[in-house]
Amino acid sequence: MKIVAKIAKADEHLIFGWASVAADEDGIPVVDSEGDVIPIAELEQAAYRFVEFSGAGGEMHSKIGVAHLVESVIFTPEKLATLGLTGEIPLGWWVGFRVTDEAVWQKIKSGVYSMFSIGGRAMREELQ
């Protein structure tokens, strides 16, 4: 299964959507657009580091500071169970950003940019 993390809402210079989905509603791992599977525990730690140390949104992984993180929720199996949402939504990272760069905002509004993309460094492991 492959999920594209499309922007779910975009108005008032605010955008919301899945930054990354680790597993679908049935718990089946998701292959991202780069062909990678990110375990929810790894995604959770990466998201916490991003919120703690940065929170700056970028444009195409190069121009940093075009947006600021305003919302971040990691949905893990434990959190979904606590909320009574097991099987209702995927495991993953939901985000919201306020876009401060007008040129980037226009690209979002026109559909040039229609999804989120996370960056980072990791050691790739072949899955069995």
Does the predicted model carry a pTM greater than 0.75? yes
Query: For 28, which DSSP code?
Result: -
Specify whether the CB–CB gap between 116 and 36 falls below 8 A: no
User: d(Cα 62, Cα 112) in Å, to the nearest integer?
Assistant: 16
pLDDT (tens digit, 9 = 90+) per residue, 31-89? 988 888 999 999 999 999 999 999 999 998 888 999 999 999 999 999 999 999 999 99
User: How crowded is the C-beta side of 59, counted as CA atoms within 13 Å?
Assistant: 16
**Residue 96 in this model has a pLDDT that exceeds 80:** yes
Provide φ and ψ at 2, rounded to 5°. -130, 130
What's the pLDDT score for residue 35?
86
> What is the spatial distance between Cα 35 and Cα 33, in angstroms, rounded to a whole number?
5
Q: What is the pLDDT of residue 53?
A: 94
pLDDT at 71: 96
For residue 64, what are the β-bridge partners?
A: 58
Percent pLDDT > 90 in the chain is 70
Confidence of residue 1 (pLDDT cuts 50, 70, 90): very low
Beta bridge partners of 29: 23
Q: What are the residues whose beta carbons fall under 8 Å from the beta carbon of 46, sequence distance 6 or more?
A: 38, 118, 120
